[in-house]
A and B are shown apart, each in its own frame.
Chain A
Amino acid sequence: MAIFKYSEIGITGISAAVPKEKNNNLTPNDFFTEKEAKSVVKMTGIKERRVAPSNICASDLCYAAAEQLIMEMAIDKNMIDVLIFISQTPDYRMPATGIILQHRLGLSKSCAAFDINIGCSGYVYGLCLAYSFCKQKTINKVLLLNGETRTKVYSFKDKSTGLLFGDAGAATLIERNKSAGDSFFSMNADGSRYHFIMIPAGGYRYPSSPETVKEKVFEDGSIRTDEQGIMDGSGVFDFTIQDVPQDIIRVLNVSGRSINDIDIFLFHQANKFITDHIAKKMGIPLEKVPYSLDKFGNTSSVSIPLNMVSELSHQLPNEAKTVLMTGFGVGLSWATCLLNLTRPYISKLIEI
C-alpha cells in the first residue's frame, strides 16, 4: 500500500502564474449554443478560463512563478538541490523540461532535475516525492513545479471538454521544518481505466501522421483530431464519487484524525457539482472547501496550489492550518495527503 508518513518537513512557499487572456464560457461562439454553454457552467461551476497564447508553454508559467517566489523569499539558488517539473504539456518530447528550467532559473548543476508525466493527481504525487527527498540531510530545498497548458490539449469544438480547461503554472518550496509536524500521504493508480482520459495519438503506440491531425466529426457533434484529448465524463464521475472519498477516509484513518480536525479541504478543481457532492456526503462543511475553478477552470495538477494562491493568500501566511488535499483524474490516478501548513509564504498571483 502506497501510504507515506513524514515528520518535520513542510511547504514554506507557494506561487502561481496564469496567462492574462480570459475566455468566458458564456461569451457567444460558433460551436456551443447558449443553452449548452449555460448547462456546462451550471454543472461544473467553470465560468472563466485563462488561455495561453501559442508562445507561452507550461514551463514559462512555472518559470515566472518560481522566479517570483525565489526573489520574494530571497532564496539562495544554491540551496535548491532538487527540481521536479510535473506536466503533461512539456516543451519537448525530449529532453525533460525540468532540466531546461534548472538552467533558466540559474540553479546549480549539482541540482537534480527531471519531469514527471502525471495529471490531476500530480500536486500530491509531487509533494510526496519532495517530502521524501527532504528526509536526506544533504537536500536543503526542493522546488516543485506544476505546469499545464491544457487548453492546447483539447479541442474547443469538443462538447464534453471544450469549455473545461485552463492554463497555469505553480511553484512550491519544500524543506525541513520543525513546526510542520506529521504529514500523511496515500497514492493510487488504476490503469484498467487508462482510456477514460487520454490523447490517443502522437506517442509511440499510435504515432503522429497526416491521418492523426485530421479533424473528425463524432456522434455528439464534437470535432477533434486523434492528437487532441478525449474524456469519458460519466466514467470519471463514477470514479470520483467512489474512489476519492475512500482515499480521504484512508488518510484520515492512517493519521488518526477526523473531518473535524481538518481546517481546509483542497479538492482538485474539476467540477464543483461533484466535489460539493463528495463534501456533503462525507459531512465536510462547504465553508471549509475553497473554490477557484469559476475563475480558472480545470488546470490539472496546478489546481491545488493555484487555489491556495488565489483563495487563501491572506489566511495561510497568518495562521497555521491542517489541510487535506486530494487530486484525481487522468491515469486513472488519485492521491490524498493530510499536512500542516505552518504559515508558508504565498506570492501574489502572477499574470503574464
Chain B
Amino acid sequence: MLSNIIKMFEEILERDTGTINAQDEFREYEEWDSLAYLSVIAKIDDDYHFVIPRDEFQKIRTIEDLANYLENK
C-alpha cells in the first residue's frame, strides 16, 4: 500500500522517483494545492472505490498515515 501511495504522489505532483518519503507531511510540498487534493481523492476513488470524507482526510498528516488509513478501510 505504502509504495502505491508514494507512486501516486510522484505521478500527481510530477516528482522524480525517490523524492516522496513515508514520513513526509504532504501538505508542505510546494506542489500541494487544491488540484493536487482533488487528484489524490479522485485517484483513491478510482483505485479503491472509496471517497475519503474531507474531515477524515484533514486528520491525515503524512504519506504513511494515508497508507495506513486506506489499509484499515
Please determine whether A238 and B38 come into contact, CB atoms closer than 8 angstroms.
no
Please determine whether A234 and B45 come into contact, CB atoms closer than 8 angstroms.
no
Interface-lining segment among B6-14, B19-27, B46-54, B60-68: B46-54
Number of chain A residues close to chain B: CB under 8 A: 15
Assess A238 versus B54: contact at CB under 8 Å? Given A277-B42, A280-B46, A281-B45: yes
Q: Is B37 an interface residue (CB 8 A)?
A: yes
Residues of chain B with a CB closer than 8 A to A234's CB: 34, 37-38, 54
Q: Is A235 an interface residue (CB 8 A)?
A: yes
Please determine whether B53 and A238 come into contact, CB atoms closer than 8 angstroms.
yes
Please determine whether B35 and A42 come into contact, CB atoms closer than 8 angstroms.
yes
Kindly report which residue of chain A lies nearest to residue B46, judged by CB atoms: A281
Q: Is B2 an interface residue (CB 8 A)?
A: no
Q: Is the interface of B mostly helix, strand, loop or mixed?
A: helix
Residues of chain A with a CB closer than 8 A to B33's CB: 39
Residues of chain B with a CB closer than 8 A to A273's CB: 35, 38-39, 42
Q: Which of B45, B53, B54 contacts A277 (CB 8 A)?
A: B45
Assess A274 versus B46: contact at CB under 8 Å? Given A235-B54, A238-B51, A242-B51: no
Q: Is B70 an interface residue (CB 8 A)?
A: no
**A 247-300 contacts with B by CB, 8 A:** 273-274, 277, 280-281
Kindly report which residue of chain A lies nearest to residue B35, judged by CB atoms: A43
Please determine whether B45 and A241 come into contact, CB atoms closer than 8 angstroms.
yes
Residues of chain B with a CB closer than 8 A to A242's CB: 51
Please determine whether B51 and A241 come into contact, CB atoms closer than 8 angstroms.
yes
How near does chain B come to A297, taking the closest CB pair, in angstroms?
A: 17
User: Measured between alpha carbons, how far is A241 from B54 in the docked complex, in Å?
Assistant: 12
Q: Is A206 an interface residue (CB 8 A)?
A: no
How near does chain B come to A233, taking the closest CB pair, in angstroms?
A: 6
8 CB < 8 A contacts A-B: A39-B33, A39-B35, A237-B38, A238-B53, A273-B35, A274-B42, A277-B42, A281-B46
- Nearest first, the 5 closest Cβ-Cβ pairs linking A and B are A43-B35, A277-B42, A242-B51, A238-B54, A234-B54
Given pairs A234-B37, A273-B39, 8 additional interface contacts (CB within 8 A): A39-B33, A39-B34, A234-B34, A238-B41, A238-B54, A241-B41, A241-B45, A274-B38
